[in-house]
Amino acid sequence: MYKRYLIYPLLLLITCCAYYNTLFNAEENYKNGMKKLESSKDGKVTSDIQKDFNSTIDKCWKLINIYSDSSRYADDALLLIGKSHFHIEEYVKSERFLRQFILRYPNSNLLPEAYLWLARSLIKMHEEAEALDFLNEIFTLNVGDDIASLAYFALGELYREQKEYDNTIDNFTKCLDIADDNLAAQAQFAIGDIYFQQGDYERAVLAFSAVRDFDAPLKIEFDALIFKADSYTLQNKFDLAVETLQLMLRESQFTDYFSVIEAKIGECYYQQKDYDFAGRQYQYVLETYPKTEGSAQAAFGFAKIMQYHFGDMDSAKTLYQLVKNEYRQSELIEDAEKNVHTLQTYLKLKESITQDIEDLRTLERGDEIELDEVQEDETEVIEDTLITAPETEVDTLTRGRERRQITRSKPKPPKPERKIRSMEEIKESLEKNRYALAEFFLLNIQNYDSARVAYTNFIATTQDTLLKPKAYYTLYYIYSFQLKDPVTADSLEKIILENYPESQYADYIKEKKGLVTFETDTGMDPYHRLFLQAESLLDQEEYQNALEILNQIALEDSGSAWAKKSRYVTAWIYEKKLVDIPKAIAAYSVIVKEYPDSELAKIAANKIKIPVIEEGAKEDIQSAEDSTRTKEQDPSEEQQKEEQQLPPEKEKR
pLDDT greater than 90 at residue 583: no
Residue 502 banded pLDDT, cuts 50, 70, 90: confident
The larger pLDDT score, comparing residue 530 to residue 83, is at 83
pLDDT score of 258 more than 90: yes
Cα 67 to chain centroid distance, Å, stands at 51
From residue 98, give the alpha-carbon distance in Å to each of 27, 33, 112, 115, 585.
17, 20, 11, 8, 41
C-alpha 556/C-alpha 558 separation (Å) is 6
Amino acid at 582: P
What pLDDT score does 617 carry? 36
CB 242 within 8 A of CB 232: no
How deeply is 487 buried, as exposed, middle or buried, from its count of CB atoms within 10 A (0-12, 13-18, 19+)? exposed
What does the alpha-carbon distance between residue 386 and residue 229 come to, in Å, rounded to a whole number? 31
- Domain limits of the chain? 346-385+421-512, 526-643
Read off the pLDDT of each residue in 545-572 and give the average, rounded to a whole number: 83
In the chain, what percentage of residues exceed pLDDT 70?
79
Query: Which residue type sits at 452?
Result: R
Mean of pLDDT values over 564-585: 86
pLDDT in tens, 183-204: 999 999 999 999 999 999 999 9
Residue 516 pLDDT? 61
Q: Which of 638, 636, 639 is nearest to 622 (CA)?
A: 639
- The CA–CA distances, whole Å, from 74 to 9, 21, 71, 77, 104 equal 22, 13, 5, 5, 10
Q: Which of 53-57, 501-505, 545-549, 581-585 has the lowest mean pLDDT?
A: 501-505
Residue 116 near residue 82 (C-beta atoms within 8 A): no
CA dihedral 568, 518, 636, 603 (to 10 degrees): -10
Cα–Cα distance for residue pair 605/275, rounded to 1 Å? 46
The whole-number average pLDDT for the span 225-246 is 97
Structure confidence at residue 472 (pLDDT): 93
Check residue 385 and give its pLDDT. Answer: 39
pLDDT at 527 > cutoff 90 = no
What is residue 312's DSSP assignment?
Answer: -
pLDDT at 7 over 80: no
Task: Indicate the DSSP class of residue 651.
Answer: P
Q: Summarize the confidence of residues 150-156 as an average pLDDT.
A: 94
Candidates 382, 407, 147; CA nearest to 286 is 407
The DSSP call for residue 560 is S
Per DSSP, the chain holds a count of helices (H) and strands (E) of 31, 0
Residue bearing the bigger pLDDT, 377 or 362 = 362
At 41, is the pLDDT very low, low, confident or very high (cuts 50, 70, 90)?
low
Least confident of 106-120, 468-482, 509-523, 558-572: 509-523
- Please indicate whether residue 205 or residue 36 has the higher confidence score (pLDDT): 205
* CB-facing half-sphere around the CA of 481: CA atoms within 13 A: 11
Rounded average pLDDT over 630-641: 41
Burial class of residue 184 in the structure, from the number of CB atoms within 10 Å of its CB (0-12 exposed, 13-18 middle, 19+ buried): buried
Higher pLDDT, 184 or 440: 184
The C-alpha atoms of residue 628 and residue 605 are separated, in whole angstroms, by 22
- Mean pLDDT, the chain, whole residue set: 81
Does 220 score more than 80 pLDDT? yes
The answer to whether residue 154 scores a pLDDT higher than 50 is yes
**Least confident window among 142-156, 420-434, 625-639:** 625-639
211, 221 in Cβ contact below 8 A?
yes
At 39 the pLDDT is: 74
C-alpha Rg value of the chain to the nearest Å: 33
Question: Is the dihedral angle over the CA atoms 231, 237, 238, 242 positive or is it negative?
Answer: negative
Look up the pTM and report it.
0.62
Question: What integer pLDDT is reported at residue 606 of this predicted model?
Answer: 79
Q: What is the dihedral of CA 342, 346, 348, 354, to 10 degrees?
A: -170
Higher pLDDT, 360 or 244: 244
What DSSP designation does 596 have?
T
Lowest mean pLDDT among 36-45, 60-69, 261-270: 36-45
Residue percentage of the chain with pLDDT more than 90: 48
| CA–CA gap between residue 601 and residue 540 (Å, rounded) | 27
Banded model confidence at residue 19, pLDDT cuts 50, 70, 90: low
Under DSSP, the state recorded for 578 is S
Please tell me the distance from the alpha carbon of residue 611 to that of residue 594, in angstroms, as a whole number. Answer: 20
- pLDDT at position 411, please? 61
* CA torsion angle 361 362 366 367 (round to 10): 110
Q: Which residue from 556, 531, 517 is spatially nearest to 648, judged by alpha carbons?
A: 531
- Rounded CA-CA distance 198/201 in Å is 8
Q: Is there a contact between 589 and 574 (Cβ–Cβ < 8 Å)?
A: no
Name the CATH superfamily housing domain 526-643: Tetratricopeptide repeat domain (1.25.40.10)
pLDDT at 518: 45
Identify whether the C-beta of residue 175 lies closer than 8 Å to the C-beta of residue 210: no
pLDDT of residue 611: 40
pLDDT value at 438 more than 70: yes
pLDDT at 394 over 50: no
What is the rounded distance in angstroms from the CA atom of residue 161 to the CA atom of residue 164?
8
Q: Find the mean pLDDT for residues 581-602.
A: 83
Higher per-residue confidence, 228 vs 637: 228
Q: What is the pLDDT of residues 281-340, one digit of tens each?
A: 999 999 999 999 999 999 999 999 998 888 888 999 999 999 999 999 999 999 999 999
Q: Which amino acid belongs to residue 263?
A: A
Compute the half-sphere exposure of residue 172: CA atoms within 13 Å on the CB side of its CA.
24
Is residue 158 within 8 Å of residue 128, measured between CB atoms?
yes
Answer yes or no: are the C-beta atoms of 73 and 63 closer than 8 Å.
yes
Separation of alpha carbons 420 and 438, rounded Å = 27
One-letter amino acid for residue 495 of the chain:
I
Query: Considering only 31-40, 129-138, 383-392, 642-651, which range has the smallest mean pLDDT?
Result: 383-392
Greater confidence (530 vs 371) lies with: 530
For residue 645, what are the contacts with CB-CB under 8 A and spacing of at least 6?
439, 443, 576, 620, 623, 627
How many whole angstroms separate alpha carbon 580 and alpha carbon 613?
9
Q: How far apart are CA 266 and CA 268, in angstroms?
A: 5
Q: What is the mean pLDDT of residues 361-376?
A: 58
Among 78-92, 210-224, 287-301, 621-635, which stretch is predicted with the lowest mean pLDDT?
621-635
